[in-house]
Structure 1
Amino acid sequence: MRDVEDLVKLYFRMGFTNKEILNLLAHHDRIVISIRTLKRLCKKLFLFRRKNQTDLEEIISFVEGELAGSGRLQGYRWLHLRAIRRGYVVSQEMMRMVIKMIDPEGVELRRARRLRRRQYSNRGPNALWHMDSYDKLKPYGIAINGCIDGFSRYVMWMEAYNTNSDPKVIADYFIATVARVGGCPERMRADPGTENSHVRDMQLFLRRNHSDHYASERSFVYGCSTANQRIESWWGILRKQAGQFWMDIFQTLRDDGHFSGDFLDKNLIQFCFLNLIQEELDEVVRTWNSHLIRPRRGQGTHRGRPILMFCMPQIYSSGEDKIKSVLPEEVAVCKEECTPKDQYPCDETIFELCALLIDENGWDAPVDAYHAAELYTLLRTEILENI
């Protein structure tokens, strides 16, 4: 029973409804319980959606903390889901009112209308993965690469590193995901950049002996980056939820004369910020994968949560899992041609020098963007003064 309670608590904190929790337990965990039992467990675990509302001062404090960082770019539904994940009991309407009271200017800015995109349709999860790189932070030494499932909009991977141009590094993201989900997609889509060449070769290798219509050469699709609709749309989400915040931090460092774009500055950015940015990406992805997508007229989208649409397409009449099985030895062969992320976020010599300076001066490791910016300027000043 303890395992069931842990799962119920996890799924509740992810914002799922009672019906969705029952579906997850039955289809994903092979645990069948009644709605009455689920409600009893929620009561026992003090999991309430309306009762025992969290004190308003706590909600205000939470919102202020979020708005001090990348949360200032997020709407009330997104912050509401974050609050639920952290154990607060608050309604969407209360969250909307608190945000409007604290950040009226931000609310007005988020009212800007978005461009309509052409209709997109797909036949099920793993029918088409969209892969691309995000270069907005690249001038500062941070490169992001990601992949999203076309049907469910479930984010397959989202990685921040010091490069997104090494094909062996990108290939490692791909093959690690293939190993994790137990197969490769029916098709992959990416732009013609050389960084995607290894992924193409591996996809064709893994699909060479399949007999479906998209087997072998048809299993990989090249196209211009701007037309890679699903991942390009997600980059817009990322920029609003986190990317713009980091761009503003780095632009401030540049404007204040603390960033020149040379080798040292980029490596210091990587040393101070890379792990924080990856943690932020992970949080954005977790929130996105569990949020509720609402259909829009004329866009051919399905109503549902990405994680449920990806893991349990059978609950959606139009979805059928298209994953293609692969042999473990084939995955192992591909893995030999990959380069995993290095243990050091930046150049090893710079890393060791920074670690030494931090130890000598008694500086603390950064816990947020502002502490990271302070550490960056301290390290930069110390190094430049002693060159």
Structure 2
Amino acid sequence: MDQDEMDAAIKVYFSMGLTYKDIINVMAIEHGVVISLRHLKRMLRQMGLFRRKNYSNIGDLIDFVQSQIANSGQLHGYRWMYEKCLAHNLHCKKEDIRVILGILDSEGTAQRRKRRLLRRSYSSKGPDYVWHIDGYDKLSRYGICISGCVDGFSRRVMWLNAYYTNSDPKIIGGYYLEVVESLGGCPRLVRGDAGTENIYVRDIQRFLRLDNDDAMAGYNSYMEGRSTANQRIEYWWSFLRRECTDYWIRLFRRLLDQGDFSGTFLDVNLMQFCFMHVIQDELDSIMEIWNRHLIHPSRNANSPSGRPDVLYHMPELYGTISYLCEVPSHQTAVCKEECSFRGPVPCDRDVYDLSCMVMKENRYQYPNDSDSAVFLYLELRRTISAAIV
């Protein structure tokens, strides 16, 4: 690894907000480069990278926070907003973000202070020891269903996908298999509810673990239970509600109350056409930021603090190992034949083609935020409904 590559890697890790200790460990484990704390600080100084210097312009911070508040960012606390600033290359202090949020969104700040959550004690031996999967149906009335999976030890989000269904077991099996294929292995245990939507995940997990010889091999590698007891993923859904979906729930409810959504086949499919990719982009961003944000120490000694990506990829730093069970490529190939995967069309094909035609005729742009998505939805609904009548 030459000096330019080393500098580039350190700059990336620094911009992610990793501590000096984490950067040193990542460089040693991932790149085979051993550097001292003193040398690391010297390199950072030479690159002009400082923790407490060269902060971004306060006006840029205010503009960014204001833009976030205009959408689902109005749900964010200052710690999460700080992580979003880092993700957008804004160097700032948490205290500055706290003050800015208090001024720009005083009502939301007051509401967040009232929220409290009691957690049950949880324990997982290491990354990939258990994955928690579940579906989130708060937006399903509007045709948008979210599926997610969280690693129990690291709290790393393994997938977070929006699609038109959460009830097709082949689709859920496809989500699971995509991650297994990318990792080259499966977890020791999968925890899900007893619903029929998980039967392909259950069967694939048991098939992939059939030849293993540990106590949780084969049939025991999938655990069923009540959705409310699936603690890791249930907590994550409450987090997602606070930071993202509550905004969309209120937006869609407003369309419903105004008579602009009636739950018809056309309305649901237009919702999927206009909003699906906007929501998926936001889910991708939340997943990325969550996986690299810092989880602070808690009273539960069995849940280590740290960044989910670091906890997941470098378990040796926390006195444990990865429990990933290696899966041969020919086994995943067999399973893929039984699964379905998300395609480029987010709704009914006829509605999709008709909507594209109306957009082309009127030179409408595909939306990239909630306002443009609402505009396109209302225009398509008006135009297509009039044509049908």
The alignment's TM-score, normalised by the length of structure 1, stands at: 0.97
Look up the SS of the partner of 1:386 in the other structure. Answer: helix
Contact 1:148–1:155 (Cα < 8 Å) also in 2: yes
Contact 2:122–2:300 (Cα < 8 Å) also in 1: no
- Report the number of matched residues: 386
- Distance in 2, matches of 1:373 and 1:282, equals 21
State the match for 1:354 in structure 2.
355
In structure 1, runs of 5+ residues without a counterpart are none
Matches within 5 A, 1:328-339: 328-339=329-340
For residue 244 of structure 1, what is the amino acid of its counterpart?
D
- Distance in 1, matches of 2:25 and 2:240, equals 29
- Distance in 2, matches of 1:380 and 1:327, equals 48
State the match for 1:90 in structure 2.
92
State the match for 2:34 in structure 1.
32
Contact 1:48–1:89 (Cα < 8 Å) also in 2: no
CA displacement at 1:36 relative to structure 2: 3.8
For residue 31 of structure 2, what is the amino acid of its counterpart?
D
CA displacement at 1:255 relative to structure 2: 1.0
- Distance in 1, matches of 2:38 and 2:301, equals 37
Q: Deviations over 1:110-156 (max 9, x none)?
A: 11232312100110011100000000000000010010000110001
- Distance in 2, matches of 1:143 and 1:9, equals 37
Deviates more, 1:80-89 or 1:7-16: 7-16
Verify: 1:208 aligned to 2:210, yes or no.
yes
Matches within 5 A, 1:217-296: 217-296=219-298
In structure 2, runs of 5+ residues without a counterpart are none
The alignment's TM-score, normalised by the length of structure 2, stands at: 0.96
Verify: 1:176 aligned to 2:195, yes or no.
no
State the match for 1:376 in structure 2.
377
Verify: 1:21 aligned to 2:18, yes or no.
no
CA displacement at 1:299 relative to structure 2: 6.8
Contact 1:80–1:92 (Cα < 8 Å) also in 2: yes
Matches within 5 A, 1:133-212: 133-212=135-214
- Distance in 2, matches of 1:367 and 1:68, equals 14
- Distance in 2, matches of 1:350 and 1:43, equals 56
- Distance in 1, matches of 2:43 and 2:245, equals 39
Select which of 6, 9, 12 maps to 1:10.
12
CA displacement at 1:45 relative to structure 2: 3.8
CA displacement at 1:172 relative to structure 2: 0.7
- Distance in 2, matches of 1:113 and 1:297, equals 18
Contact 2:273–2:352 (Cα < 8 Å) also in 1: yes
For residue 384 of structure 2, what is the amino acid of its counterpart?
I
- Percent identical: 45
CA displacement at 1:362 relative to structure 2: 1.1
CA displacement at 1:298 relative to structure 2: 4.4
Look up the SS of the partner of 1:179 in the other structure. Answer: helix
Look up the SS of the partner of 1:110 in the other structure. Answer: helix
Contact 1:119–1:299 (Cα < 8 Å) also in 2: no
Q: Deviations over 1:95-115 (max 9, x none)?
A: 111111211111111112323
Q: Deviations over 1:145-199 (max 9, x none)?
A: 0100001100010100011111111111111111111211000011111110011
Contact 2:274–2:367 (Cα < 8 Å) also in 1: yes
Deviates more, 1:294-303 or 1:305-314: 294-303
State the match for 1:324 in structure 2.
325
For residue 387 of structure 2, what is the amino acid of its counterpart?
N
Look up the SS of the partner of 1:153 in the other structure. Answer: coil
Q: Deviations over 1:13-45 (max 9, x none)?
A: 221112111211221233333334433443344
Contact 2:209–2:221 (Cα < 8 Å) also in 1: yes
- Distance in 1, matches of 2:383 and 2:8, equals 48
Contact 1:135–1:143 (Cα < 8 Å) also in 2: yes
For residue 148 of structure 2, what is the amino acid of its counterpart?
G
- Distance in 2, matches of 1:377 and 1:37, equals 58
For residue 285 of structure 1, what is the amino acid of its counterpart?
M
Look up the SS of the partner of 1:350 in the other structure. Answer: helix
Look up the SS of the partner of 1:158 in the other structure. Answer: strand
CA displacement at 1:9 relative to structure 2: 2.4
Q: Deviations over 1:238-260 (max 9, x none)?
A: 01110101111111111111101
Look up the SS of the partner of 2:185 in the other structure. Answer: coil
